[in-house]
């Protein structure tokens, strides 16, 4: 997630810097006497400085900062449309609108991207309507529709790709990579706030016998049934993930070890198939690997003693 945020910041920095450079070029060599040279100088400086700032701070920016940067870019585009000297200049802002719309659709969630595209289109259209040259309605409508359609397609595609990358295709729960990333964020938050946090490892007993006796189709169906039943009993904040094969993990925020065992005990009634669970509460200075190692050790102590769920 942090790498994706950094990539987004770097790309937005390029968009800012490139737009600023084009404004500076237009200010230095105006094509018409009524070209808003002063405004172009100002927008050019804002673009270049903003791009350099985004690039330098790329590793420290939050998603909220990127949302604000996209909103600011939308305002600047609307200002440029309003002060453009020609109708052609207004309509030629179409590629800028598309670039911002695609950026929002690719990096933000679909709902936020739609809001950004709506704000961008509304502000830019207001600037186009307020511009002194009469902007051809058909050409402007073509640009606006292109932005909306392309952003929607890109947003849906990006959402599907993110879901596929974070989900176990068989059970529909979080895959190992996605689970570890979210669990690490929960661990960091618990370290900051001091709230309890517990982890559990669930291992199915004699699962191989199901595959050997009834076939892999039966084993797959069992995994789907179990995870669906567990997900219904777990709380909204709890995170269930498949760690590999017949082993699953659960992150239980705001829960100590005793509370975790009570919650996990409720899962026993969801299915007749036996499984064993190991639990560990996060301690001060714990890494995710350390607390999972304790949960794994607890799991095998319980397996050896025959204390299955």
Q: Which residues are catalytic?
A: 246
CA 134 – CA 126 distance, rounded (Å): 13
The region, left, alpha or beta by phi > 0 then psi within -120 to 50, assigned to residue 273 is: beta
**Rounded (5°) CA angle 184-189-192:** 130
Residue 257's alpha-carbon distances to 30, 95, 116, 187, 193, in angstroms, are 70, 55, 43, 15, 17
Q: Which residues of the chain form beta strands (DSSP E)?
A: 197-204, 239-244, 247-253, 275-281
Residue among 292, 255, 268 at smallest CA distance from 204: 268
Maximal C-alpha separation, the chain: 88
Q: Tokens for 174, please give them.
A: 């979080």
Q: Nearest-CA neighbor of 263 among 187, 213, 202, 218?
A: 202
Residues 6+ apart with CB under 8 A from 279: 198, 199, 200, 257, 260, 261, 264, 295, 298
The whole-angstrom separation of Cα 162 and Cα 255 is 29
Structure tokens belonging to residue 10: 């770097």
CA atoms within 13 A on the CB side of 270: 21
Can you read off the two tokens belonging to residue 160? Answer: 């599907």
Q: How many CB atoms lie within 10 A of CB 96?
A: 23
Radius of gyration of the chain (CA): 27
């Amino acid at each position: 997630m942090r790498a994706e945020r950094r990539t987004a910041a770097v790309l937005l920095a390029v968009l800012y810097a490139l737009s600023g450079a084009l404004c500076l070029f237009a200010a230095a060599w105006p094509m018409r006497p009524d070209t808003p040279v002063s405004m172009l100088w100002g927008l050019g400086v804002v673009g270049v400085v903003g791009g350099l700032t985004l690039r330098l701070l790329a590793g420290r920016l939050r998603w909220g900062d990127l949302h604000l940067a996209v909103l600011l870019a939308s305002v600047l585009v609307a200002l440029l449309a309003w002060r453009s000297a020609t109708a052609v200049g207004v309509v030629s802002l179409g590629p800028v609108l598309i670039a911002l719309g695609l950026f929002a659709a690719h990096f933000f969630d679909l709902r936020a991207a739609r809001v950004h595209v709506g704000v961008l289109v509304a502000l830019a259209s207001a600037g186009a309507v307020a511009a002194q040259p009469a902007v051809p309605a058909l050409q402007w409508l073509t640009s606006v529709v292109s932005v909306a359609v392309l952003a929607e397609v890109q947003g849906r595609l990006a959402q599907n790709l993110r879901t596929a990358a974070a989900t176990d295709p068989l059970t529909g729960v979080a895959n190992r990579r996605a689970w570890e990333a979210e669990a690490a964020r929960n661990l960091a938050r618990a370290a900051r706030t001091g709230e309890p946090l517990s982890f559990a490892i669930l291992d199915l007993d004699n699962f191989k016998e199901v595959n050997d006796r009834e076939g892999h189709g039966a084993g797959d169906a069992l995994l789907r049934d179990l995870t669906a039943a567990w997900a219904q009993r777990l709380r909204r904040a709890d995170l269930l993930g498949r760690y590999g094969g017949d082993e699953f993990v659960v992150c239980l925020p705001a829960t100590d070890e005793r509370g975790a065992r009570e919650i996990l005990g409720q899962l026993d009634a969801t299915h007749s198939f036996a499984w064993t669970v190991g639990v560990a509460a996060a301690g001060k200075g714990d890494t995710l690997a350390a607390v999972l190692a304790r949960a794994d050790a607890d799991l095998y102590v319980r397996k050896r003693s025959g204390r299955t769920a």
